[in-house]
Amino acid sequence: MTPERWQRVKSLFERALDQPAGTRDAFLDAEGESPSVVSEVRRLLSGDAAAGSFLKDAAATDLSAAALSPGELVGGHFRIVSLLGRGGMGVVYRAEDLVLTTRNEQKKKRQRREI
Q: Which long-range contacts (CB under 8 A, 24 or more apart) does 21-26 make?
A: 21/49
Per domain, the residue ranges of the chain are 3-52, 62-109
User: Which superfamily, per CATH, for 62-109?
Assistant: Phosphorylase Kinase; domain 1 (3.30.200.20)
Whether residue 99 contacts residue 75, with contact meaning beta carbons closer than 8 Å, is answered with no
Whether residue 93 contacts residue 82, with contact meaning beta carbons closer than 8 Å, is answered with yes
Give me the mean pLDDT over the 56-75 stretch: 68
Spatial separation of the C-alpha atoms in residues 68 and 72, rounded to whole Å: 7
Q: How many CB atoms lie within 10 A of CB 91?
A: 19
Instruction: Quote the mean pLDDT of the chain.
Output: 80
Give me the mean pLDDT over the 61-73 stretch: 71
Q: Residue 56: is its pLDDT beyond 80?
A: no
Question: What's the pLDDT tens digit per position in 20-52?
Answer: 989 999 999 999 999 999 999 999 998 888 776
